[in-house]
């Protein structure tokens, strides 16, 4: 009996396509005058900037969840790369760290150069917005693991912070203000719930211009504004509002013996959250699943409020939603959301 030859390509893995993507990465990452020579190597080498005296390394990793399924449905992939960077670097700055490098991991059933290049455009833009370098990553072609056209992405970021500049719970004091910085929209959390609504309500996403615009709106990257505030010593602590919403994320930074009293009626709710709420979603579920319009929170001294506003554009102008008080409950939600 005669058998055909077994090859990696016949098994579903095309190394030549992968090589072409690596070459694209080499030519399209970093500034034109400073091409990243690490791309394609076994590991990335990055020098620690000389202006640091006693730095600590801060690392973070995340993905974009099932927002990928919205991108797949709409065949639009140029923004989820921004989301990917944002989900990691927005966590780094909570510690007071400046993002230094970023790496990505893309796993896909079959290499699609057009799709991968589009994702990379977003990742590169996210790195520019967060002033960090895309220094490498991994693209894995995995036939049999993902169904046709399916893929997943993950990001990894590393930042630096001087040891005496690390943001700590100890910085938070009674009478400090809790400041909301608006989100750009849903960001990258709660998409399984949104997709369930779309499916159950039989909404044609491709024909719904409002949802097409809102659901792939990239996550706001807060790096530049927050780093400026940190350099001016205007922040006592801060929180990235992601999965778990306002309560769960602020709870992580409040020390024992203090309470974050938050007035929900002050929150400026984005239109997309009003749309989600209109589909029989309770306030409790909204607050637990989504940022509801607050993408990032900072805790500051009362005297610094007027000073911080100049660091933000009108679209992301910060506003007061609460105050730090003595108490055993770490986060107390008062009043109700105004829909």
pLDDT tens digits for range 224-271: 999 999 999 999 999 999 999 999 999 999 999 999 999 999 999 999
Q: Which residues in 256-283 are b (16+ Cβ under 10 Å) and which e?
A: eebbbbbbbebbebbebbeebbeeebee
CA-to-CA distance for 83 and 169, rounded, in angstroms?
27
Report d(CA 233, CA 321) in Å as an integer. Answer: 21
Q: At residue 40, does pLDDT exceed 70?
A: no
Average pLDDT over residues 70-90: 97
The residues, any chain, with a CB within 8 Å of residue 284's CB and separated by 6 or more, are: none
Q: What pLDDT was estimated at residue 146? A: 84
Model confidence at 49: pLDDT above 60: yes
Between the alpha carbon of residue 204 and those of residues 198, 201, 275, the distances in Å are 8, 9, 15
The token duo for 185 is 């929209």
Mean pLDDT, residues 75-99: 97
- What is the predicted pLDDT for the residue at 18? 54
- Decide if pLDDT at 5 tops 90: no
Q: Average pLDDT for residues 306-326, to the nearest whole number?
A: 96
Q: If pLDDT is split at 50, 70 and 90, which confidence band does 34 have?
A: very low
What does the mean pLDDT of the chain come to? 91
- The domains of the chain, with CATH numbers, are 15-165 (3.30.1330.10), 169-185+220-334 (3.90.650.10)
Q: What pLDDT does 3 receive?
A: 58
Select from 135, 129, 33, 23 the least CA-distant residue to 85.
Answer: 129
The predicted structure's pLDDT at residue 147? 87
Read off the pLDDT of residues 130-177 as tens digits, 9 standing for 90 and up.
999 999 888 888 888 888 889 999 999 999 999 999 999 999 999 999
Q: Is the pLDDT of residue 116 over 60?
A: yes
């Amino acid at each position: 009996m005669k058998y055909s030859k077994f090859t990696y390509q016949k098994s579903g893995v095309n190394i030549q396509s992968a090589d072409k993507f690596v070459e694209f990465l080499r030519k399209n990452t970093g500034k034109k005058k400073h091409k990243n020579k690490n791309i394609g190597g076994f590991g990335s080498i990055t020098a620690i900037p000389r202006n640091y005296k006693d730095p600590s390394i801060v690392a973070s990793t995340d993905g974009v969840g099932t927002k990928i399924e919205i991108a797949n449905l709409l065949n639009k992939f140029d923004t989820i790369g921004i989301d990917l960077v944002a989900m990691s670097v927005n966590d780094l700055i909570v510690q007071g760290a400046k993002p230094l490098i970023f790496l990505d991991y893309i796993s896909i059933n079959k290499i699609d150069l057009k799709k991968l290049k589009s994702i990379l455009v977003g990742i590169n833009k996210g790195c520019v917005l967060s002033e960090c370098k895309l220094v490498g990553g991994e693209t894995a072609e995995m036939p049999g693991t993902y169904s046709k056209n399916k893929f997943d992405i993950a990001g990894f970021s590393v930042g630096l912070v001087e040891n005496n500049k690390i943001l700590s719970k100890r910085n938070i004091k009674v009478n400090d203000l809790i400041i909301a910085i608006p989100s750009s929209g849903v960001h990258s959390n709660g998409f399984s719930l949104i997709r369930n609504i779309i499916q159950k309500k039989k909404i044609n996403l491709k024909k719904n211009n409002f949802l097409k615009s809102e659901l792939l709106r990239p996550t706001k990257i807060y790096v530049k504004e927050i780093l400026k505030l940190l350099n001016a010593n205007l922040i006592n602590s801060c929180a990235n509002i992601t999965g778990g919403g306002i309560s769960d994320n602020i709870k992580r930074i409040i020390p024992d013996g203090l309470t974050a009293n938050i007035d929900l009626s002050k929150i400026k709710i984005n239109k997309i959250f009003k749309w989600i709420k209109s589909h029989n979603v309770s306030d409790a579920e909204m607050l637990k699943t989504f940022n509801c319009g607050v993408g990032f929170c900072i805790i500051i001294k009362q005297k610094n409020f007027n000073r911080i506003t100049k660091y933000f554009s009108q679209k992301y102008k910060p506003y007061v939603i609460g105050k730090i008080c003595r108490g055993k409950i770490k986060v107390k939600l008062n009043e109700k959301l105004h829909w």
